């Protein structure tokens, strides 16, 4: 039975698509390598130099011509005069003649005329003359120029997340900086006249503001810079002022609370008159009341989440995390799912996608998931005990133990 006065719920995908469509990736700019750590490359980087850049020695030993030492054995060693010495970073000696040897250190350039390296261990370590008792293969212990990376090779593709190995390689080819998208600045506001800052006194009618910490930490985990503004009372004027103060440093604003049907729903009361913020219901549980729009001079995106902690967190996962990833130029927007065997039966409301909390384990070599606690959206203790969300589709009202369900593992990097 549909009530013509109550607008229908939108799907999780519809709401997410609405948000993603209104958000564009932040402009990229050249950033020093260490600033770019964890960011996504916004250019294809091709090597302008080869690696190694020149033939160099892989061992401490003697550079020789292979033909001179091919017959060397312990019984009939080869004697060669040592005509010089080259350390790493010292290219004093550029060439040598057949019938001679040059002492050479690891990483030092192999002089022209030499083609192989005899490691110290196969010699008497002589200074003026060296006795060689074992022959290298032709080219042995020489690292040839371009062996690793050739000039022009694609070394970092656009979209790659820049971790230690990528930054090390960029530096190795001489790049001091890389074009990348910055971390989005995300302002987190929690609303509620009942809220108090942890560490302060609590009255019999007040509760601690868990959400601004939950959301700010989630922003940071997603790669954003979190500005945890904290508590705004349920007064539209106070909310509008706080928002106005924060917009200047925000690429995205996330609020918690004040979007349901109550008498004091401050976020709705303050933003609905602007006409640029949509408020409505999403067919999910928990997390039905949602809002999204653009506010202020710069049309800054704002995602308004419900206040119950579990609703807030699950809504963050479904809507804010994809928005942050889009701003950063990272894909996929949503977490990879997995299949798991449900260990205990679950019930779920008709017409709503349920995100139940669960813990993952491996039973008999298969991924299994155990529901945690009842499904109240205020149960932050149970939320903290979980490491996955169990997704029960809109059309399903119960799942039996032993059935396969879709899960979202929460702690995996992607
Ligand atoms: P609301 O969405 O504002 O109606 O809040 C729904 C429920 O979540 C209420 O019981 C609030 O007290 C609670 N709540 C709202 N904001 C927070 C917060 N920042 N931390 C913890 N609980 C909250
Ligand atoms: Mg409230």
Q: Does ligand 1 lie within 6 Å of residue 223's CB atom?
A: no
The whole-angstrom separation of Cα 182 and Cα 30 is 10
Pick the CATH number of 56-143 from 2.70.70.10, 3.10.310.30, 2.170.190.11, 3.10.150.10: 2.170.190.11
Place of tokens 């029960």: 392
Which ligand places an atom closest to the C-alpha of 233?
2
With contact defined as beta carbons under 8 Å apart, do 86 and 153 qualify? no
288, 291, 292, 296 alpha-carbon torsion, rounded to 10°: -160
Closest ligand 1 atom to Cα of 194: 12
Could you tell me the two tokens for 103?
A: 């002492």
Place of tokens 């690429």: 251
Q: How confident is the model at residue 261, as a pLDDT? A: 82
For ligand 1, atom 8, name the residue with the nearest CA: 308
Cα 319–chain centre separation: 17
Structure tokens at 93: 């000696």
Tell me if residue 62 falls in helix, strand or coil: strand
Ligand 1 pocket check for 290: Cβ under 6 Å: no
Low-confidence ranges of the chain (pLDDT < 50): none
Q: Is the CB of 194 under 6 A from ligand 1?
A: yes
Q: Would you say the CB of residue 291 lies under 6 angstroms from ligand 1?
A: no
Domain boundaries, the chain: 12-26+182-328, 29-49+155-180, 56-143, 338-409
Closest ligand by atom to 210 CA? 1
Ligand 1 pocket residue status of 184, Cβ below 6 Å: no
Ligand 1 and 308: CB distance under 6 A:
yes
Domain 29-49+155-180 bears CATH identifier 3.40.50: no
- Is residue 67 within a helix (H) or strand (E), and if so which, with residue range? helix 66-69
CB of residue 260 inside a 6 A radius of ligand 1: yes
Query: Which of 357, 387, 194, 372 lies closest to 287, judged by CA?
Result: 357
For residue 238, report the distance from its CA to the centre of ligand 1, in Å.
17
How many whole angstroms separate alpha carbon 367 and alpha carbon 359?
A: 10
Mutation test of ligand 1: which of 189, 204, 207, 233 has the most ligand atoms closer than 8 Å to its C-beta? 207
Contacts of 294 (CB under 8 A, 6+ apart): 22, 276, 277, 300, 301, 302
N- to C-terminal Cα separation, the chain: 41
Ligand 1 pocket member 309 (CB < 6 A) = yes
Give dist(CA 61, CA 85) in Å, integer. Answer: 10
> How many A from CA of 294 to the centre of ligand 1?
23
Q: What are the angstrom distances between the C-alpha of 296 and each of 240, 243, 250, 252, 293? A: 11, 9, 11, 12, 10
CA 77 to CA 100: how far, in whole Å?
15
Closest by CA position to 105, among listed 87, 85, 124: 87
Q: What would the pLDDT profile of 30-89 be if each residue is shown by its tens digit?
A: 999 999 999 999 999 999 999 999 999 999 999 999 999 999 999 999 999 999 999 988
Cis before 52? omega within 30? yes
Same fold, 12-26+182-328 and 29-49+155-180: no
Q: Which atom of ligand 1 is nearest to the CA of 258?
A: 3
Question: What is the rounded distance in angstroms from the CA atom of residue 376 to the CA atom of residue 310?
Answer: 8
Distance 200 CA to ligand 2 centre (A): 19
Q: Which residues pair with 305 in a beta bridge?
A: 256
CA–CA separation, 411 and 62 (whole Å): 52
CA nearest neighbour of 223 among 183, 179, 163, 251 = 183
Ligand nearest to the CA of 212: 1
Q: How many residues does the chain have?
A: 414
Q: Which residues are bridge partners to 340 per DSSP? A: 405
Write the residue with the smallest CA distance to atom 10 of ligand 1: 308
In sign, the C-alpha dihedral spanning 166, 37, 303, 359 is: positive
What number does the ligand 1 atom closest to the CA of 256 have?
A: 16
pLDDT at 1: 53
Q: Which of 200, 268, 303, 308 to mutate to test the pocket of ligand 1 (most atoms within 8 A of CB)?
A: 308
Q: Give yes or no for residue 195 CB within 6 A of ligand 1.
A: yes
**How much is the pTM?**
0.90
Q: Is the CB of 112 under 6 A from ligand 1?
A: no
Phi then psi dihedrals of residue 23, to 5 deg: -115, 135
Using a 6 Å cutoff on CB, does residue 315 contact ligand 1? no
Q: Is 355 in contact with 405 (CB distance < 8 Å)?
A: no
Does ligand 1 have an atom closer than 6 angstroms to the CB of 287?
no
> Which single residue is written with the structure tokens 């130099």?
49
Per CATH, is 12-26+182-328 categorized as 3.40.980.10? yes
Which helix or strand (DSSP H or E) is residue 138 part of?
Answer: none
CATH of domain 338-409: 2.40.340.10
* Alpha-carbon gap, residue 48 to 170, rounded angstroms: 10
How far from 178 is each of 24, 159, 175, 251, CA to CA, in Å? 20, 12, 7, 22
Question: Is the minimum distance from the CB of 110 to ligand 1 under 6 angstroms?
Answer: no
| Structure tokens that stand for 357 in this block | 């909390």
């Amino acid at each position: 039975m549909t009530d013509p006065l109550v607008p229908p719920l939108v799907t999780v995908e519809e709401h997410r698509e609405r948000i993603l469509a209104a958000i564009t990736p932040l402009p990229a700019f050249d950033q020093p390598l260490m600033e770019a750590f964890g960011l996504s490359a916004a250019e294809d980087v091709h090597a302008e130099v080869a690696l190694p850049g020149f033939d160099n020695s892989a061992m401490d030993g003697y550079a020789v011509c292979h033909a001179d030492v091919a017959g060397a054995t312990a019984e009939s060693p080869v004697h060669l005069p040592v005509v010089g010495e080259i350390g790493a970073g010292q290219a004093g000696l550029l060439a040598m003649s057949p019938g001679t040897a040059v002492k050479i250190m690891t990483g030092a350039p192999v002089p022209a005329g030499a083609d192989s390296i005899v490691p110290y261990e196969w010699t008497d370590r002589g200074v003026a003359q060296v006795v060689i008792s074992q022959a290298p293969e032709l080219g042995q212990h020489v690292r040839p120029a371009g062996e690793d990376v050739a000039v022009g090779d694609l070394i970092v593709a656009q979209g790659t997340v820049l971790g230690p190995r990528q930054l090390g390689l960029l530096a190795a080819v001489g790049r001091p900086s890389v074009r990348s998208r910055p971390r989005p600045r995300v302002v987190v506001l929690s609303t509620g006249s009942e809220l108090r800052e942890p560490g302060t006194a609590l009255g019999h009618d007040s509760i601690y503001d868990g959400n601004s910490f939950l959301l700010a930490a989630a922003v940071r985990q997603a790669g954003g810079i979190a500005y945890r503004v904290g508590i705004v009372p349920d007064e539209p004027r106070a909310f509008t002022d706080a928002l106005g103060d924060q917009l200047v440093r925000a690429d995205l604003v996330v609020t918690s609370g004040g979007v349901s049907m109550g008498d004091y729903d401050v976020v709705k009361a303050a933003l609905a008159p602007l006409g640029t913020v949509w408020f409505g219901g999403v067919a999910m549980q928990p997390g039905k009341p949602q809002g999204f729009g653009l506010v202020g001079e710069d049309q800054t995106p704002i995602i308004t989440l419900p206040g119950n902690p579990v609703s807030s967190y699950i809504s963050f996962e479904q809507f804010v995390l994809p928005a942050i990833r889009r701003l950063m130029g990272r894909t996929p927007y949503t977490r990879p799912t997995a299949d798991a065997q449900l260990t205990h039966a679950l019930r779920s409301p008709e017409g709503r996608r349920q995100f139940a909390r669960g813990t993952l384990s491996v039973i008999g070599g298969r991924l299994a998931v155990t529901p945690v606690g009842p499904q109240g959206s205020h149960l932050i203790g149970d939320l903290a005990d979980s490491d996955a969300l169990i997704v029960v589709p809109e059309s399903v009202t119960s799942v039996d133990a032993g059935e396969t369900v879709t899960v979202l593992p929460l702690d995996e990097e992607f």
